[in-house]
Amino acid sequence: MGKLTYEGTVKVDFDDRTLAHLQLVIGTKLRRGEPFHFTWRDDLSIGDGRTTIWVHPRCALVYKFYGSRTPQLNPAWIDALAHTANSPSGLYLVPEPAPPAPAAEAQEDLLG
C-alpha cells in the first residue's frame, strides 16, 4: 500500500501499482503547467464519501511507496487516466484496462 500526501495534510492510501500510474499522469500534467482536480472515493473507515484536491504546479505532493520494486506500468491505463485528467471533471480512478498485446501475439490472434 502506498500513500499520497497533498500539502502535508490530506493523506490517502493507494496500492503501489495504482500510485505509480497516478504519479506518472500527475507528473506529466504538472510538467506542462496544467492544473486539474483529482477526485477519489474515500475509504469506508472515514465515511465512504469522496475527496477532491486542486493539483497545481506549486502544490506539495509526496508519493510514498511501501514495496521495494517499481511496479510495471500499463500504457493503456496511463492513457485512460490521462484522458480523465484532461477532462473538465479532472483526474479520477478508472479500472485498469487489459494491457496491449505484444505485436507477435496480436498477429497470431488475427491469423488464428
> pLDDT per residue over 11-64, tens digit each?
999 999 999 999 999 999 999 999 999 999 988 887 779 999 999 999 999 999
Under 8 Å CB-to-CB from 56, ≥6 apart: which residues?
30, 35
Cβ atoms of residues 25 and 85 within 8 Å:
yes
What is the Cα–Cα distance from 37 to 39, expressed in whole angstroms?
Answer: 6
**pLDDT for the residue 46:** 76
Q: If you average pLDDT over each of 66-70, 82-86, 108-112, which comes out highest?
A: 82-86
What is the DSSP code (8-state) at residue 8? T
What is the pTM assigned to this prediction? Answer: 0.85
pLDDT tens sequence across 9-21: 999 999 999 999 9
- Which value, in Å, is the radius of gyration of the alpha carbons in the chain? 16
Beta strands in 1-112 (DSSP E): 2-6, 10-14, 36-41, 50-55, 61-64, 91-92
